[in-house]
Amino acid sequence: MDTTPMAKIEQPPATLRDMVQERLREAIIEGFFEPGQRLVERPLCDQLGVSRTVIRETMRYLEAEGLVEILPGRGPIVATISQEDARQIFDIRRMLETSAAETCADKIVPERAEALQTAFDRLKQVGSTKAPGELFKATADFYSVIFEGAGHHIAWEIVQRLNGRISRLRMMTLSTQERKRPGIVHMEHICAAIVSGDAAAARHAVEEHLEDTAAVASKLLSKDAEND
């Protein structure tokens, strides 16, 4: 075992701030806090048992993710997602994810195919548990294998920055029957196309998945706008 001062930390412990960020991120994504709802420091401090400093740092971090807006005179509120926001997010996803899937399929090797199939099997297993937090992590892991296999590291960084908002849209569309196909069926098609090395089919599967999801999100956001 390497005991030098700069030895690698095998399992870095999560800091208190990391834990609070994850807890509040999940609460926003899962709808515990409504869009536009004020996030008042004192109740949050009491609920989570942390200081105001930690809550303020967390709010700044979640603001950078697009999950929170900090308004002058009002403080932090849960950010809303407009139809235009959703359209831009899906346009970015379409550009980056189709390219990654196509390239990953072109460059597929047995080790990568096995890793992707394992990630999909995990996603399918978690999907049956109805646990949103685990589902979103498994989905991110699935896409991570695709972007890594494509060698699109900068594109993956961009997707990760949008992940909070992507997860909110995903949560919205999960709870509706408006989809043409369940999300897991789309993922299965994406996985199968990449594993078989069919780049054109991989691109088409991603496009079909995002077209379906974007249409549902737009419809739901339109209803929300009409009700406001």
Would you state the structure tokens that stand for residue 110, as one six-digit string? 């047995």
3-state class (DSSP) for residue 67: coil
CB atoms within 10 A of CB 61: 17
Longest dimension (CA), the chain: 62
d(CA 224, CA 31): 14
Q: Which of 15-24, 27-36, 102-111 has the highest mean pLDDT?
A: 102-111
What number is the average pLDDT over the span 75-83?
94
pLDDT tens by residue, 125-180: 987 776 777 888 899 999 999 999 999 999 999 999 999 999 999 888 876 666 65
Q: Output the pTM of the full model.
A: 0.84
Rounded CA gap, 120 and 142, in Å? 6
How do residues 195-216 score in pLDDT, each as one tens digit? 999 999 999 999 999 999 999 9
User: What one-character-per-residue DSSP string does 140-200 give?
Assistant: HHHHHHHHHHHT-HHHHHHHHHTHHHHHHHHHHHHT-S--SS-HHHHHHHHHHHHHTT-HH
pLDDT at position 182 is: 80
Q: Which domains does the chain have, with CATH numbers?
A: 16-78 (1.10.10.10), 83-226 (1.20.120.530)
Q: What are phi and psi of 164, to 5 degrees?
A: -60, -45
Q: Which of 75-79, 88-92, 178-182, 195-199 has the lowest mean pLDDT?
A: 178-182
Q: What is the mean pLDDT of the chain?
A: 89
Percent of the chain with pLDDT over 90: 71
Bridge partners for 69 per DSSP: 77
